Amino acid sequence: MTAPAADLTGWSASPFTGGGYTHDVYRKGSGPGVVLIPELPGIHPGVLALGNHLVDNGFTVAMPSLFGTPGKPVSGAYIASQIARVCVAREFAALATNKQRPVALFLRALARDLNASTPGKGVGVIGQCFTGGFALAAAVDDSVLAPVLSQPSVPFPLTAAHRRDPGLSEVELGVVADRCANDGLCAIGLRFSEDKTAPGERFQTLKKRLGDAFEVIEIDSSPGNPHGFTKMAHSVLTDEVREVDGQPAYEARKRVVEFLTQRLT
């Protein structure tokens, strides 16, 4: 059995400008809004399958194309080319610690726009891999009620300080922590236990600052784990999903849908 995959059928694209940046945004569905931020190398077939799954569960999904070619399958060369691009892009500040990333301003504007055009109490934001932490940075805006951080890998974990860094600035994290303490904001973080690109230290930082408002789902990928995940397992909601009850990534995807439903409806 392989991971779910899909193509661009049924998705409509139009440019959106916010925070001084313009990106095409792919939209589909009806119901409460969810901003689905793609992982590297872009809106690949696995990300599209996740988007379709959210649509099938009653959400309006908006996927910004921040990098890559929408619909293009994943390959090693494709990933390498996009990593090279995003590493030098000021918009993402992939190597900086304690940094307010310009892309967060774009995502907050997109979240507000989606919230204004969809039913529900607010919107969800799912970030993955390179964009995992961007979901929490988007939650500085009051329109975001359900941030999901799947294997957040920025800043790239080059040093101990990078591994501990939450992926957003101290000012932004302070706003999010205040929302958690006083406004009932909650977030979910997902990672595989042996994933060095989404370090456990980052989740420890977030857990310390956000407390019980930060729900951690850590899937065992240690040697000999019962579900056969390798130590390279990374993409919780896409590449590692097998649609079989009890499979941990599949169960994690179920929990994300449940979380979004609870928070937004």
Decide if 126 is inside a domain: yes
Q: For 89-100, how does the pLDDT look when each residue is reduced to its tens digit (9 = 90+)?
A: 999 999 999 999
CATH number at residue 73: 3.40.50.1820
Q: What is the DSSP string of 200-248?
A: HHHHHHHHHHHGGGEEEEEE--STT-TT---TT---TTTTT---STT-H
Decide if 184 is inside a domain: yes
Decide if 4 is inside a domain: no
Q: Would the pTM count as exceeding 0.95?
A: yes
> pLDDT tier at 143 (50, 70, 90 boundaries)?
very high
How many structural domains are present in the chain? 1
Q: For 161-185, how does the pLDDT look when each residue is reduced to its tens digit (9 = 90+)?
A: 999 999 999 999 999 999 999 999 9
Decide if 248 is inside a domain: yes
Handedness of CA 182, 174, 116, 134 (dihedral sign): negative
Decide if 142 is inside a domain: yes
Decide if 163 is inside a domain: yes
Decide if 1 is inside a domain: no
Tell me which residue range forms the domain holding 213. 12-264
Decide if 5 is inside a domain: no
